[in-house]
Structure 1
Amino acid sequence: MSVDLRNLRRVVGTSAAVVTALQAGTAALALRKRRRDYADGVWGPGLAAVAITGAALGTGDPWRRWTLAAVTTGWAIRLESLMLGRLRGTDSEDERYTEFLEGDGTPTVLAKVFGTQAVAQLLVSAPLQLAAASTLPRSARRWLFPVGAAVAVAGAVVEAVADRQKSAFMARDRDERPDVLDTGLWGVSRHPNYLGDSIVWDGVWLAGAASAPGAWLVAAPAAMNWFLIHATGAKRTEDRMGDRPAYQDYQRRVSFFFPGT
């Protein structure tokens, strides 16, 4: 068997402890500052922490575990810079959290936000954890690792370019700015930043699937895609923007998520 089960238990247990500590620390700060949206700021760091934990403690193929740690950490650093800029740019809580948590007490907030996010981080990062404790096969299947790593990097580039295009659009003078961004990547998908994010984690799963057990963890990228499309990303944006005539026209002209669909 290509998986060192004893090492996998160590990686999983330590990853769970690291994620729990990060979520607990963020929750304490968020509740004290009355900014429950601080949860957004720990999403990327939590996933990077799992990747680094696996790379450091794992006994699996070193090239794979450190490559995936590097890709995940690079992705997280860029995402974190955006999150911190957004969180520091306002003194008020994101209205999504205010509406979602209206009337909830502290135990419910901890469970609905920080507990749920911890579980989500451990689920999404499952391919990283398994890859850390797995060897690569001698068969052609081993090439799924470099292919998956390349896919993840490509997704990170798509996400970064989309965010840069959006930032440039928002920086334009309001009088000169069109009602909707529909050029560049935003002309082929209404949510290219989320699409790029999903590609990153599809690539991570593919790299992990080079070891036979990894293919069974397809629920990890599927969960990430569900979060990005339905839970916290694209659909929420559509609901918020859908009553604007310019955006309704944009919806008719440009694919929702995947280009050409």
Structure 2
Amino acid sequence: MVTAFLIVSGASLLAVALLMGITAWVGHRLGKVSVVDTAWGLGFVLVALVAALTGCLLGEGNAVRRWVLLGLVGVWGLRLAWHMHRRNHGQPEDKRYAEMLGDAPFSVALRRVFFTQGISLWFVSLPVQVAAVAGDGLFWVAVAGIALWLIGATFETVGDAQLAAYKRDPDRGPVMDRGLWAWTRHPNYFGDACVWWGIFLVAASAWPGVLTVLSPVAMTYFLVWATGAKLLERTMMRRPGYPEYAARTSMFVPWPPKRQH
């Protein structure tokens, strides 16, 4: 199995490198590093597809788990990629990347954005790679993982839809604090974390999937501290009404809002 995993992992790494290379070329032509946000979701789908096909060709692992994971990652990744494409299309460079890179040459973006995200994508997707060649496992653990994935996908999809409706409302207030956003300031990021903990549980249902636990830990770190909620909060705290919203609403894990005195 070790040899099979190394083949799957190597093929996945090559696929990610090719995708990020193409994305960097497109970004350079468009003058926008933010195209990498669309490639992020597509990259996970690509890894899941490569892992599933490679595991099948090698004749290793549980076929049902392999294709279930491809379905879970595919639905999540394609929805995320389409959402990011619609959000960024026709817009100027994302403020996060503009502040990060400043006037630096594109070679800096290659290292700090495309290379870093490519390696991160490959590492976070390790549960999918291992599961492609793992044998039979505990059915109830896989079911728990699918249930957690469903919770995460619901939070992410509903949260994005509620935010879009808020932006279309001409009578909206200064801060989105409706629906899921009344319970957590980042329901989409929380949903992402649940999705990847769910995928991990599906992989962990069979040995040695449990050894990939650092992958969902890394994804959660990205979503909360590195490139997600904490980074966005720096800008949002300048918006009128947001500090008050933050004082009564959980930042990440959904929780009933605090009562205002």
- Both structures adopt the same fold (TM-score exceeding 0.5): yes
When normalised by structure 1's length, the TM-score is: 0.93
* 1:188-212, Cα deviation, whole Å (9 max, x unpaired): 1010010001000000111111112
Written as runs of structure 1 = structure 2, the 5 A alignment for 1:107-126 is: 107-126=107-126
Counterpart among 166, 169, 174 of residue 169 in structure 1? 166
Corresponding position of 2:205? 210
Question: Equivalent residue for 1:193?
Answer: 188
2:71 matches 1:70: yes
Name the SS of the counterpart of 1:166 in structure 2.
helix
Q: Give the corresponding residue for 2:97.
A: 97
Which letter does structure 2 place at the counterpart of 1:86? R
Moved more, 37-46 or 143-152: 143-152
Question: Could you tell me which amino acid in structure 2 is paired with residue 223 of structure 1?
Answer: A
Note the residue ranges of structure 1 that are not aligned, 5 or more in a row.
Answer: none
Alignment of structure 1 residues 1-261 onto 2, 5 Å: 4-58=1-55, 59-90=60-91, 92-137=92-137, 141-173=138-170, 176-260=171-255
Q: TM-score, normalised by structure 2?
A: 0.93
CA RMSD of aligned residues (A): 1.3
Q: Residues 244 and 106 from structure 1, CA distance in 2 versus in 1: closer, same or farther, beyond 3 angstroms?
A: closer
Offset at residue 106 of structure 1 (A)? 3.0
CA distance in 2 between partners of 1:260 and 1:151 (Å): 17
Determine the C-alpha separation between the residues in 2 that align with 1:51 and 1:105: 33
Q: What's the counterpart of residue 259 of structure 2? A: none
Aligned to 1:212, what secondary structure does the other structure show?
A: coil
Partners of 1:123 and 1:220 within 8 A in 2: yes
Alpha-carbon distance in 2 for matches of 1:161, 1:76? 16
Alpha-carbon contact 1:71-1:153 (below 8 Å) kept: no
Deviations 1:3-51 (A, max 9, x none): x122211111110111000000000110121111111110000011111
Structure 1 residue 213, shift from structure 2 partner: 1.6
**Cα deviations by residue, 1:63-93 (Å, 9 ceiling, x for unpaired):** 1110111111111111111111122131x21
Structure 2 residue matching 1:54: 3-state secondary structure = helix
Contact 2:135 2:207 in 1 (8 A): no
Work out the CA distance in 1 between the residues paired with 2:67 and 2:231. 35
